[in-house]
Structure 1
């Protein structure tokens, strides 16, 4: 777990529900649980502030870090993608994005591809991405301030379910993804009894819960949340998601207890969506 990722996860699961700000001293103590030293914390937070992810203010002799509007949006979007799965009946229609980006602007093209993957699209062909869910509005909103990108957005159908499944095989490596889901289940299933029994100390529970989030949160980049008609036999995605939600909730109380003891947050339960 990189210090930068730990910071975002701490803000995403804890700090944001305690006013969106935290003293540097408390943040340093929390990262110490992950063997991240004080000097590293200072360097990371200074960098993140310069990048526009955090604001800083002085409170006496202490520095307090606050979420910016940009980071609030990032955490909101990330939480939705990690904790919620697409639901409802599929209408057998595809959302298609065909993009044009100047050949000279490779950075913009790479940003576009990463964002499309995050939104659940897969690459069907060069400059052509598809999703079985209607997310064209999300695409329009995300790239509204990117004049260098030209987008053609379509809703379309294939010639039948067999073709739909063949398209899925071209867009996503579901075999590899399913193997990684199985590995996640093998890793965390044996730990569930400890989570249920409450045997973990609060500090250990915070670390374990953060590692769980770290291990799971990359899956939404790879898993488009396909309708039941399109997932292969033996698919473990739904089971892994349910285990993640259950483990995350079981660890909530002791992890929040440790966070409150360090950050000086009120003793009431932190109310989250996940």
Structure 2
């Protein structure tokens, strides 16, 4: 496979979908071997994990002559937040309140301001106007974490409020997000993966798809679906248009993911164990699909 997927982004995907179930830690050799399946070489993997280390997502630890990388507290929180959104099957209900974050960050802290904007978009906030961001979702914890992370208590105000007009709540939504464009992206995802799901499900049933192939397909599936975290704010059902495709895409993702789960988990475990001095959890792989099962059945 030609390398077409960003190395750093792929490492985030592997941590979120696999490594977090193994104590959030992995030997660099295992990481290199896993990413080789996607055309990434050792140099690019080491460069990407080093960058993640400098950014505070992971930390390294030497055990003998081997280097292990584990998620920091910030990294673990990001993985948990991402999983909560990725494995959500249906849109949640709304409490009718808007969360409003306003800030006046000085020019000399412009780099913090730029990073904060990116973080707010990722968390699901929309920009109503300059330095005024809103969301109908319960993001109090995320806001607290951002204020602490960037040490900006002096520059921000946060409100939880009703909207009393003069327009509608839907008007606010349309000012902040282009739902038609997001819907088009979901439609593209459904068109691309609905046929692949049927084909791969049949291959798995017939035993003509290897564990390694399942691992590659599942990782790419998660990697592609994960991109919606950066464009879809995860609005409650009450604020979505009638023909919303996000829930259909989530169901397709869930079904395809679970079809690939068992063989891809076997492949990951085999690579994880090779040359690894860590104690490997002695359990089957049902726990690796726990997030999806909980979101769908509970």
Q: Distance in 1 between matches of 2:166 and 2:246?
A: 21
- Choose the corresponding residue for 2:212, options 179, 203, 220: 203
- Choose the corresponding residue for 2:235, options 226, 233, 236: 226
1:86–1:107 Cα change, 3 Å: farther
How far apart are residue 161 of structure 1 and its match? 10
For these two proteins, the number of residue pairs brought into alignment is 274
1:50–1:153 Cα change, 3 Å: closer
Q: Distance in 1 between matches of 2:190 and 2:197?
A: 11
Q: Distance in 2 between matches of 1:26 and 1:147?
A: 36
SS at match of 1:92: coil
- Choose the corresponding residue for 2:285, options 256, 269, 273: 269
Q: Distance in 2 between matches of 1:60 and 1:147?
A: 37
- Choose the corresponding residue for 1:138, options 138, 142, 148: 142
- Choose the corresponding residue for 2:19, options 15, 20, 40: 15
Contact 1:260/1:267 (8 A) holds in 2 = no
1:141–1:61 Cα change, 3 Å: closer
1:161–1:253 Cα change, 3 Å: farther
Structure with the higher helix share, 1 or 2? 2
SS at match of 2:107: coil
Where do 5+ consecutive residues of structure 1 fail to align? none
Question: 1:245 aligned to 2:254?
Answer: yes
Q: Distance in 1 between matches of 2:283 and 2:160?
A: 50
Contact 1:101/1:109 (8 A) holds in 2 = yes
- Choose the corresponding residue for 1:52, options 50, 56, 72: 56
Deviations 1:211-250 (A, max 9, x none): 1111111212222222333222321111111211222222
Instruction: Specify the alignment match of 2:296 in structure 1.
Output: none
Q: Distance in 2 between matches of 1:261 and 1:97?
A: 46
- TM value normalised by structure 1: 0.89
Contact 2:215/2:263 (8 A) holds in 1 = yes
Where do 5+ consecutive residues of structure 2 fail to align? 274-279, 293-298
Contact 1:202/1:254 (8 A) holds in 2 = yes
Contact 2:116/2:146 (8 A) holds in 1 = no
- Choose the corresponding residue for 2:162, options 153, 157, 162: 157
Q: Distance in 1 between matches of 2:73 and 2:102?
A: 30
| Range with greater deviation from structure 2 (239-248 or 174-183) | 239-248
Deviations 1:141-197 (A, max 9, x none): 431353435222223333469621111111001111111110000000001113323
- TM value normalised by structure 2: 0.82
- Choose the corresponding residue for 2:182, options 177, 186, 201: 177
